[in-house]
Amino acid sequence: MIMLKKDLNSRHPLGTREDEIDILSKGEFGAVLSRAGVGKTAFLVQLAINTMMKNRNVLHISMNDPVDKITLWYEELFQHLTQRNAVEEANQLWESLLPHRFIMTFRVAGFSVPRLIERLTDLTGQDIFHPDMVIIDGLEFNESTRECLADLKSLAGEQSFHAWFSVHTHRDEQTPQDGIPSRLMNVEDLFDIALQLHPSGTDIHIKPLKGPSRIISGMTHLTLDASSMLIK
């Protein structure tokens, strides 16, 4: 399984060997922005699978979908990935990845950093799960979001994980000249990387809005296949 994971990672568009630098470092935040239904969750799940194949732990927090729906996202995208790469031992590989993933759900109105800390403490205190990466899918970005994100940023630094967020934008949302949509503008300083998904024909283009030059140059030519939702 070790060689299979390394081989799959070496062919992954996100670039990928276990000894390579991750897109985000510990304590950093990334945002994936798009309108509803364009592919934010699919993109984040592929980031997660890539991390899991490096034997690192992913905590996936969903505000909108139940555990079984999130699980299905992982299974379907992993299946597409292994079919594209003609992996013969896909079932065994999948079983080896599962210990590196933990799915947690919240109702949007019930999410708070103290509640997350309480549930995280249950996991880490009993040595059940220690996340290296956290996905927060479905957090509402509004006028009151900044305090929550600032507290999450402190938590990420204290517990040595990085975090990715989905950010829902609207078709008529104004975008200033620097390219950052208004939904993210008031908290932009808390994010180290921001990517926007734009549908175009059979592909969904990944547009870097903010980030170090190595990330922007590496992401510029990436797209999501609209049929399989795989990054290519």
- Domain spans in the chain, listed from the N-terminal domain onward: 2-225
Q: Report pLDDT for 183.
A: 84
Query: Lowest-confidence range among 12-21, 126-135, 191-200?
Result: 12-21
Write the pLDDT tens digit of every residue in 93-125. Answer: 999 999 999 999 998 778 999 999 999 999 999
- Cα distance from N-terminal residue to C-terminal residue, the chain: 23
Query: Lowest-confidence range among 104-108, 175-179, 204-208?
Result: 175-179
* pLDDT of 14 above 80: no
* pLDDT of 191 above 90: yes
* Cα distance between residue 24 and residue 44, in whole Å: 13
Order across the sheet with 193-200: list the strands.
101-105, 58-62, 133-137, 162-168, 29-34, 193-200, 203-210, 223-225
Write the pLDDT tens digit of every residue in 57-100. Answer: 999 999 989 999 999 999 999 999 999 888 888 899 999 999 99
Q: Which residues have a Cβ under 8 Å from the Cβ of 197 and sit 6 or more positions away?
A: 32, 33, 34, 38, 39, 40, 43, 204, 205, 206, 207, 224
**Fold category of 2-225 in CATH:** Rossmann fold (3.40.50)
Write the pLDDT tens digit of every residue in 19-61. Answer: 455 789 999 999 999 988 899 999 999 999 999 999 999 999 9
159 token code pair: 């517990």
